[in-house]
């Protein structure tokens, strides 16, 4: 709905009651409400404005004045809708930036243990090849390299568990590490 024009004194629910209902049930849309009344009572006007009315005109009013108020309310509606759309777009862009930052942080965190695993794997392959050629390679050296592999795997498991448990993104500082 672009604009609601309500008479304060209507049969059934009053314009003030309908205005209150409209304003209470707006989620992320804006519907301007204009109240019209023949009652010039200041208290009635304040009640209407306090219930959420965006405009309040007393009868009799000039037709040109009414049209000008309607155009102003529609202009405010258009600008508010544009603001809401822009806010949604910014929220989506922020979500995308956070996702990219999180992916970058995960890649960085997982890169270190993966490098360790890769180097240890290459070392074990070399040691096993030498072991086949000579008896100089000790079991202890192979155990050490397997231990490095397991450490790297455990680090990656911990990083993945930490990522899975995130409720909100926090930038990790790598300075001085």
For the stretch 112-145, pLDDT in tens is 877 888 788 788 778 777 776 666 556 777 777 7
Given this model, what pLDDT does residue 18 score? 92
Asked whether the predicted pLDDT for residue 159 surpasses 50, the reply is yes
Higher pLDDT, 177 or 63: 63
How many Å apart are CA 116 and CA 119, to the nearest integer?
A: 5
Ranges assigned E (strand) in the chain: 4-7, 33-37, 55-58
Q: Which residues have a Cβ under 8 Å from the Cβ of 108 and sit 6 or more positions away? A: 174
Which of 45, 52, 50 lies closest to 8 in space, CA to CA?
Answer: 45
Least confident of 19-23, 67-71, 113-117, 132-136: 132-136
């Amino acid at each position: 709905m672009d604009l609601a024009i309500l008479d304060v004194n209507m049969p059934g629910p009053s314009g003030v009651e309908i205005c209150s209902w409209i304003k209470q049930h707006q989620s992320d849309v804006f519907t301007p409400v204009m109240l019209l009344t023949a009652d010039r009572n200041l208290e009635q006007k304040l009640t209407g404005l306090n219930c959420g009315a965006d405009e309040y005109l007393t009868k009799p009013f000039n037709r040109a004045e009414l049209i000008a108020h309607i155009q102003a309310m529609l202009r405010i509606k258009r600008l508010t809708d544009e603001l809401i759309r822009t806010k949604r777009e910014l929220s989506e862009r922020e979500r995308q930036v956070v996702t990219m930052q999180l992916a970058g942080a995960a890649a960085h965190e997982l890169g270190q243990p993966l490098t360790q695993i890769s180097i240890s794997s290459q070392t074990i392959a070399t040691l096993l090849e030498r072991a086949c050629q000579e008896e100089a390679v000790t079991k202890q050296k192979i155990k050490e390299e397997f231990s490095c592999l397991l450490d790297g795997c455990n680090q990656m498991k911990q990083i993945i568990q930490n990522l899975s448990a995130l409720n909100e993104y926090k930038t990790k500082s790598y300075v001085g590490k």
